[in-house]
Structure 1
Amino acid sequence: MTEHKKRRFRLAGVIAAAFALLVAPVPALAQSQSQSAAAPVTVPALTNWAPESGSYVFGRGARLVASGAAERRVADTLADDLRASGHGRVPVVGGAARPGDISIDVRPSSTELGKEGYELQAGKRLSVTGATETGAFYGTRTLLQLLAQGDRIPAGRTVDVPRYKERGVGVCACYVHISLPWLENLVREMAYHKLNQLLLELKVKSDAHPEANTWGYYTKDEIRGLVALGDKYHVEIIPEINSPGHMDPWIENRPDLQLTDSDGNKQPARLDVTQQAAFDYYTSLMDEYAQVFTSTSWHMGADEYMLGSDFAKYPQMLRYAQDKYGANATPQDAYVDFVNRVHDYAASKGVRLRIWNDGLTGANTVPVAAGTTVEHWLNVAVKPSGLIAQGYQVENAAYSLYLVRGGFHSDTESLYDQSWDPRSFEGEKLTSGKGITGAKISLWPDNGRGETENEVAVELWPALDHIAQATWGDPHPDATYAEFAARGTAVGHAPGWRDLTKVPVADGTYTFRASGASFDAEVRRTADGYATLRTADGCLEVRGGKLTLNVPLQPGAEATRETCDDQNTLQRWEVERVAGGYRLVNAITRMAVSPVDGRLVQYPVDQHPPAVWRLTAH
């Protein structure tokens, strides 16, 4: 599911093409809109806009009118976002609405709107109504998109209800660290486009198992902050610890829990599912995650457990299965047994289990527990239709929707032209959406140094627009992809979105000083918004230590001077402004470098206080 995928495609021209799509098509969309009484431009598109005469004008006297607690929460968030998007401070008040006001209503009796739909009506005043708080919130996202195009909104009415209940993004921050500002941008963008589910495979620093705290982890406080942002913006953040395969981030220092083959070789990425101690270890990690995540779902991965291997090399698996399930049991039943035990443990905590589909090859005699959601990404023997027939809820996480860092990128334009929707799985297209929960795009870090976060973002945003459209409404609202891409340009980024490509110092040569150390370097901004640091002896680059996904992720790895190479992403640095100076954070490892014993070394901020560098221009 992660570093083992073998498909790779060249990326020449992809970044430039993505930027072109974001900018060039605006005139085409403007012409299309002028030729018909079409709905105002939004992403996802409005499909049942009923125009009326006149318009709503957002002006200085506008107020947000909210009567109850739910309405007030929606209005408070909207007020924050209006201020962040340059519309000033808009007061939240109670009472009756007057011309120019925006009213927020939550009416549980409006059952036709469902849990997430809303009604928006614009005239002398503008109203947003949902049957739930979430529905009213999504109505405010449409309002923000309309105001991003001007303060005058054409009069009219829409009732806008999503087709699928799960509309999401999956991110593996499981090996290569992804910065919190980048993830915060993603949450805001998702909410802006009415996406509601973010799967995060990542490591949270463990108090119970300090031996597992090798990089890259997130602190509990960092995750609490991200989850709070998700809660505010109605994005459910679902945690994943992949198991029983891909467990190397957690058990590399626990050989006692590693699966051992018949030759006595330890498998550091595979948990020994026949051990009670392995199950206890995994569920103790689940308990720690429950301290910081609020989601009612848990993803255990369950993919690629025996990738490139054979159950025959692990006779203990067959023994375990036959001891528990009888003589006809298969080795895969031991794997399914582990999945089901995790399911039952999660259920005892009021949490639903999710897994990837590829482990369900049909070689098991024990079925996966009822109530498990299966996320289908790979074409294997058991098809989506078969899973649905067996009663499982299935989410479409097709490989065609993937963005593999430094490898395969989803062809968003081709998918749009095909009118792709969540019924189109890898290996099977269904005629009905029954049993399909929705779909998501996935970002995986197979080649960590292949692209920087900022480069990934360029490809991600058009794909985000597309998955939002395909899961909420009509998958092909515009005649051409150019017209559809222009929608994204028209609505822009979410309020509060931060431009992470700004370098806070000008290009030039500086002396860097911190903690008694100093060096001279020329700062040159890179095309993706980082900087190279060119010294007389070469460019600063992180080297040394064990490579994970082609990245030196170990704390304490040294930054040395190497031959300058514009294509080497490990030579790109974020010059981060902080009180008293700047931090130097590697664009790929996401660790700051500090002088230690005459060397420049990288550390997470919770392990070593990052150096604050003072810069003097030459």
Structure 2
Amino acid sequence: MGEFRNRALRLLGAAAALTLLVAPTSAAAQEEQRQEGRAPVTVPALADWSAESGGYLFGRGTRLVADTPAEHRVADTLADDLRAAGHGTVPVVPGRARTGDIVIDVQASRTALGAEGYELRAGRRLSVTGATETGAFYGTRTLLQLLAQGDRIPAGRTVDAPRYRERGVGVCACYVHITLPWLENLVREMAYHKLNQLLVELKVKSDAHPEADTWGYYTKDEIRRLVALGDRYHVEIIPEINSPGHMDPWIENRPDLQLTDSDGNKQPARLDVTQQKAFDYYTGLMDEYAQVFTAKSWHMGADEYMLGSDYSKYPQMLQYARDKYGSSATPQDAYVDFVNRVQAYAASKGRKLRIWNDGLTGANTVPVAAGTTVEHWLNVAVKPSRLIAQGHPLMNAAYSLYLVRGGFHSDTRSLYDQSWDPRGFEGEKLASGKGVTGAKISLWPDNGRGETENEVAVELWPALRHIAQATWGDPHPDATYAEFTARGTAVGHAPGWRDPTRLPVPEGAYTFTTGGASFKADLTRTADGYVSLRTADGCLEISRGRLTLNVPLQPGVEVDRAACDATDTLQRWQPEPTAGGFRLVNAITQMALSVTDDGRTVQYPPDQRTPAVWHLTAD
């Protein structure tokens, strides 16, 4: 743990990259690129570029020309992003284009561009053409990256299309809450780099099953806001409720649904797939998620069901399988039966099922329904080539692409130097990409207090840019990793990206006052952009209550004062501006401080108890 934290703190030396102001590419450098025929700098890199004489100049008279509703939607989003990037207000107009204009063109007849490809032409004016709205949108992402380097774009033409149709990021916000602004930053960054799929394993606060509403969850309105952003930026947000294993966030208060072992012990993380009411409970949650998620896919997890145990401890699994499939059935057939029943239910609702691969060990006699997408992360007996042969679309979610809080971090430099691409699975390298849908990086909170969100971001951005490159085009466009990372520096962050390390209050000594409580503390910025609050009795921290993934996620526990420790993430706080003052939110638990009637200062989710508004008076 100590070694990991030291590494995390060293990474914070790179945290300035979160707020980096990128110097525009000089006109001389652009002319040098043109003379050498080199493509302008983008991420993913442009594989096809035909340089021409002259260039396009973005200026005060620039307009966005769009005629059809689809073109208008792309242009409206681009106008908002240009404003957010500091390029001013650019009007969206119909009709003929003139010098200096940007033309958005959606032509269904341009079928050679595919569902996501586009053509960009730069000259006296600039045009972005797609066969679909999505293709035209991705052309505008390239445009924004070019404008991030200066208002002059070298003349030329590119036709740019992805090699793989699924290009993604997976985030487990399933136990440790991740803030909505952080997820919104991620969606914007994904779209900016032409990634199109965000898997979120998380808990939506349930109206049907309030007994399952343990922290941390998201309200339905929060998810609607996130999904709307994803829809606008062409990022499909796919929900996951992991089952039948890892179900403890949902069934810890439902022992009647928990699998019971041969010694009579209830298993709070394992759903009893032999019970019809367990299936009904799970599909009921699916229906509730359908109220807020619009994706046409559903991820049920299906991983690590017997992690730390084995089927022999649960004889009812074998009995269920034999009763349904005959005497040659195995216990794993009961597990596959549950997967297939969920698949059929999802299909009846117009959704395609996705699962992880590790439960497919080959010990089953009942096959997983063909068409179920398998996300391959672990090397087990059934290899990727066999899964493709069995009719499963296969996504590469390899462990080598993981970023784990408090644990393994993907070695992006090594992957780039190896020219890794989505054919490189754990345990097998495929000769062809046929049957491979794409790849994604995954963020898991195994030690939830091992890093803060801002620390995760430092490690995330290089990995995100690498997966964007490896799934869209040539996995090794530059001779060295340093040259590739320079691309990321050149294009910067997406328009609308919010700097999470920017403090809303200066460092200093303050008196914190709210109704019924007050304390004095030195407010000091931490290396990752939060604050520590040092009082005469020690630094404020949350350390009591039941731990989940090493995080005290129990609402109602009282704030402590402990010896100040710069490496202790539970001593880091976010002062969030609100009317009349600030809320104090713990950087790890993401619960705000409230004050009880008897004067105790405690943490609670903001929708369970109104957070205290703290008035800060400089001492």
Q: Which TM-score band (shorter chain)?
A: over 0.9
Give the secondary structure class of the aligned counterpart of 1:224: helix
Contact 2:593 2:604 in 1 (8 A): yes
Contact 1:26 1:483 in 2 (8 A): no
The equivalent residue for 2:240 is: 240
Give the secondary structure class of the aligned counterpart of 1:457: helix
Once structures 1 and 2 are overlaid, which stretch shifts more, 358-367 or 8-17? 8-17
| Identity across matched positions, percent | 80
TM-score (norm 2): 0.96
Contact 1:167 1:195 in 2 (8 A): yes
The equivalent residue for 1:554 is: 554
1:610 corresponds to 2:611: yes
Q: Cα 1:441–1:9, aligned 2, differ >3 Å: closer, same or farther?
A: farther
1:530 corresponds to 2:526: no
Contact 1:168 1:439 in 2 (8 A): yes
Q: Distance in 2 between matches of 1:219 and 1:150?
A: 41
The equivalent residue for 1:11 is: 7
Contact 1:25 1:482 in 2 (8 A): no
Q: Cα RMSD over matched residues?
A: 2.0
Q: Cα 1:524–1:198, aligned 2, differ >3 Å: closer, same or farther?
A: same
Q: Distance in 2 between matches of 1:21 and 1:545?
A: 36
> Counterpart amino acid of 1:616?
T
Q: Deviation at 1:543?
A: 2.1
Give the secondary structure class of the aligned counterpart of 2:534: strand
Q: Cα 1:186–1:614, aligned 2, differ >3 Å: closer, same or farther?
A: same
Q: Deviation at 1:36?
A: 3.4
Q: Between Structure 1 and Structure 2, how many residues are aligned? A: 612
Q: Distance in 2 between matches of 1:478 and 1:38?
A: 12
Trace 1:112-151 onto structure 2 (pairs within 5 A).
112-151=112-151
Q: Cα 1:220–1:397, aligned 2, differ >3 Å: closer, same or farther?
A: same
Q: Cα 1:495–1:429, aligned 2, differ >3 Å: closer, same or farther?
A: same
The equivalent residue for 2:201 is: 201
Q: Distance in 2 between matches of 1:21 and 1:544?
A: 35
1:274 corresponds to 2:270: no
Q: Deviation at 1:516?
A: 2.4
Q: Distance in 2 between matches of 1:35 and 1:485?
A: 24
Deviations 1:440-499 (A, max 9, x none): 000000000000000000000000000000000000000000000000000000000000
Q: Distance in 2 between matches of 1:17 and 1:432?
A: 40
> Counterpart amino acid of 2:599?
G
The equivalent residue for 2:481 is: 481
Q: Deviation at 1:320?
A: 0.1
Trace 1:87-126 onto structure 2 (pairs within 5 A).
87-126=87-126
Q: Deviation at 1:557?
A: 1.6
Q: Deviation at 1:507?
A: 1.3
Deviations 1:132-180 (A, max 9, x none): 0000000000000000000000000000000000000000000000000
The equivalent residue for 1:288 is: 288
Contact 2:12 2:527 in 1 (8 A): no
The equivalent residue for 1:3 is: none
Contact 2:57 2:153 in 1 (8 A): yes
The equivalent residue for 2:189 is: 189
Q: Deviation at 1:504?
A: 1.3
Q: Cα 1:247–1:415, aligned 2, differ >3 Å: closer, same or farther?
A: same
Give the secondary structure class of the aligned counterpart of 1:558: coil
Q: Deviation at 1:71?
A: 0.2
Give the secondary structure class of the aligned counterpart of 2:542: strand
Contact 2:343 2:372 in 1 (8 A): yes
Q: Distance in 1 between matches of 2:213 and 2:464?
A: 32
Contact 1:261 1:314 in 2 (8 A): yes
Contact 1:168 1:197 in 2 (8 A): yes
Q: Deviation at 1:309?
A: 0.5
Q: Distance in 2 between matches of 1:54 and 1:225?
A: 43
Trace 1:189-588 onto structure 2 (pairs within 5 A).
189-588=189-588
Q: Distance in 2 between matches of 1:62 and 1:366?
A: 61
Contact 2:24 2:149 in 1 (8 A): no
> Counterpart amino acid of 1:378?
L
Q: Deviation at 1:18?
A: 5.0
Q: Distance in 2 between matches of 1:130 and 1:216?
A: 41
Q: Distance in 2 between matches of 1:557 and 1:331?
A: 42
> Counterpart amino acid of 1:543?
S
Give the secondary structure class of the aligned counterpart of 1:385: helix
- Stretches of structure 1 that go unaligned for 5 or more consecutive residues are 1-6
TM-score (norm 1): 0.97
Give the secondary structure class of the aligned counterpart of 2:7: coil
